[in-house]
Amino acid sequence: MMETWPKVLIIDDDDIIRVNLVAFFEDENFIVRSAISAETGLQLLCGEPFDVGVIDIRLPGMDGNRFIIKAHEIHPRMKFIIHTGSADYFLPETLAAIGLLPRHVFLKPLKDMRLLIQAVRELIAL
Protein backbone atom coordinates (compact mmCIF):
# COMPACT_ATOMS: atom_id res chain seq x y z
CA MET A 1 0.00 0.00 0.00
CA MET A 2 1.36 3.40 -0.96
CA GLU A 3 1.84 5.91 1.87
CA THR A 4 0.10 9.23 1.43
CA TRP A 5 1.93 12.42 2.26
CA PRO A 6 0.19 15.33 3.95
CA LYS A 7 -1.05 17.99 1.55
CA VAL A 8 -0.67 21.67 2.40
CA LEU A 9 -2.14 24.67 0.59
CA ILE A 10 -0.25 27.93 1.08
CA ILE A 11 -1.94 31.21 0.20
CA ASP A 12 0.13 34.38 0.39
CA ASP A 13 0.34 37.32 -2.00
CA ASP A 14 3.98 38.03 -1.06
CA ASP A 15 6.04 36.08 -3.60
CA ILE A 16 9.12 35.72 -1.40
CA ILE A 17 7.16 34.45 1.60
CA ARG A 18 5.04 32.08 -0.51
CA VAL A 19 8.03 30.58 -2.35
CA ASN A 20 9.99 30.17 0.90
CA LEU A 21 7.05 28.49 2.64
CA VAL A 22 6.61 26.09 -0.26
CA ALA A 23 10.31 25.16 -0.21
CA PHE A 24 10.32 24.74 3.56
CA PHE A 25 7.27 22.46 3.58
CA GLU A 26 8.58 20.44 0.63
CA ASP A 27 11.85 19.94 2.53
CA GLU A 28 9.73 18.46 5.34
CA ASN A 29 8.10 15.95 2.93
CA PHE A 30 4.75 17.66 2.48
CA ILE A 31 2.94 17.83 -0.83
CA VAL A 32 2.50 21.56 -1.36
CA ARG A 33 0.41 23.74 -3.64
CA SER A 34 0.35 27.51 -3.44
CA ALA A 35 -1.76 30.42 -4.58
CA ILE A 36 -1.31 34.18 -4.72
CA SER A 37 -4.98 34.87 -3.88
CA ALA A 38 -7.93 33.37 -2.04
CA GLU A 39 -9.82 33.05 -5.31
CA THR A 40 -7.04 30.97 -6.88
CA GLY A 41 -6.85 28.93 -3.68
CA LEU A 42 -10.56 28.12 -3.96
CA GLN A 43 -10.06 26.97 -7.55
CA LEU A 44 -7.33 24.59 -6.34
CA LEU A 45 -9.62 23.31 -3.57
CA CYS A 46 -12.34 22.45 -6.05
CA GLY A 47 -9.93 20.11 -7.80
CA GLU A 48 -8.25 18.43 -4.84
CA PRO A 49 -8.54 18.19 -1.06
CA PHE A 50 -5.85 19.45 1.31
CA ASP A 51 -5.11 18.49 4.89
CA VAL A 52 -4.05 21.96 6.04
CA GLY A 53 -4.08 25.49 4.67
CA VAL A 54 -1.48 28.08 5.70
CA ILE A 55 -3.34 31.28 4.99
CA ASP A 56 -2.36 34.95 4.94
CA ILE A 57 -5.14 37.29 6.05
CA ARG A 58 -4.49 40.42 3.99
CA LEU A 59 -4.92 39.29 0.40
CA PRO A 60 -6.02 41.06 -2.77
CA GLY A 61 -9.74 40.50 -3.30
CA MET A 62 -11.18 38.04 -0.79
CA ASP A 63 -9.39 38.13 2.57
CA GLY A 64 -8.02 35.10 4.38
CA ASN A 65 -10.85 34.95 6.93
CA ARG A 66 -13.49 34.62 4.20
CA PHE A 67 -11.32 32.12 2.34
CA ILE A 68 -11.14 29.88 5.42
CA ILE A 69 -14.93 29.94 5.85
CA LYS A 70 -15.50 29.09 2.17
CA ALA A 71 -12.78 26.41 2.17
CA HIS A 72 -14.33 24.84 5.26
CA GLU A 73 -17.66 24.63 3.41
CA ILE A 74 -15.94 22.80 0.53
CA HIS A 75 -13.75 20.51 2.68
CA PRO A 76 -15.03 20.43 6.29
CA ARG A 77 -12.14 18.21 7.45
CA MET A 78 -9.47 20.65 6.28
CA LYS A 79 -7.54 22.43 9.07
CA PHE A 80 -6.06 25.91 8.97
CA ILE A 81 -3.09 27.93 10.17
CA ILE A 82 -3.15 31.72 9.91
CA HIS A 83 0.16 33.32 8.93
CA THR A 84 -0.27 37.09 9.05
CA GLY A 85 1.73 40.27 9.27
CA SER A 86 -1.12 42.00 11.13
CA ALA A 87 0.15 42.38 14.70
CA ASP A 88 -3.34 43.41 15.83
CA TYR A 89 -5.10 40.39 14.29
CA PHE A 90 -7.73 38.74 16.44
CA LEU A 91 -9.41 35.43 15.74
CA PRO A 92 -13.02 36.06 14.66
CA GLU A 93 -15.77 33.99 16.28
CA THR A 94 -16.67 32.54 12.88
CA LEU A 95 -13.21 30.92 12.64
CA ALA A 96 -13.14 29.85 16.29
CA ALA A 97 -16.49 28.12 15.64
CA ILE A 98 -14.87 25.87 13.02
CA GLY A 99 -11.98 24.93 15.28
CA LEU A 100 -9.27 27.55 14.94
CA LEU A 101 -7.53 28.43 18.17
CA PRO A 102 -5.20 31.32 19.06
CA ARG A 103 -2.27 28.87 18.83
CA HIS A 104 -3.10 28.48 15.13
CA VAL A 105 -2.20 32.14 14.49
CA PHE A 106 1.43 32.93 13.60
CA LEU A 107 2.77 36.44 13.10
CA LYS A 108 5.21 37.33 10.33
CA PRO A 109 8.13 37.34 10.34
CA LEU A 110 8.31 33.96 12.04
CA LYS A 111 11.80 33.48 13.42
CA ASP A 112 11.55 29.69 13.83
CA MET A 113 9.76 28.01 10.92
CA ARG A 114 9.84 24.71 12.79
CA LEU A 115 7.00 26.06 14.97
CA LEU A 116 4.81 26.32 11.87
CA ILE A 117 5.70 22.78 10.77
CA GLN A 118 4.98 21.48 14.27
CA ALA A 119 1.56 23.19 14.33
CA VAL A 120 0.66 21.72 10.93
CA ARG A 121 1.73 18.23 12.02
CA GLU A 122 -0.35 18.54 15.20
CA LEU A 123 -3.43 19.54 13.16
CA ILE A 124 -2.96 16.61 10.79
CA ALA A 125 -2.71 14.22 13.75
CA LEU A 126 -6.10 15.34 15.15
Establish if 37 belongs to a structural domain: yes
In angstroms, the CA 104 to CA 82 distance is: 6
Is the per-residue pLDDT at 10 higher than 70?
Answer: yes
Q: Strand, helix or coil at 79?
A: strand
Could you read off the pLDDT of 55-104 as tens digits, one per residue?
Answer: 999 999 999 999 999 999 999 999 999 999 999 999 999 999 999 999 99
Establish if 1 belongs to a structural domain: no
Establish if 32 belongs to a structural domain: yes
7 strand-pairing partners? 31
* Structure confidence at residue 91 (pLDDT): 96
Establish if 102 belongs to a structural domain: yes
Q: What value does the mean pLDDT take over residues 112-124?
A: 95
Establish if 2 belongs to a structural domain: no
Name the residue range of residue 95's domain: 7-125
Establish if 114 belongs to a structural domain: yes
Average pLDDT, the chain: 95
* Structure confidence at residue 1 (pLDDT): 40
Q: What is the CATH number of the domain that holds 65?
A: 3.40.50.2300
Cα–Cα nearest to 9, from 75, 80, 72, 64: 80
Establish if 119 belongs to a structural domain: yes
In angstroms, the CA 25 to CA 118 distance is: 11
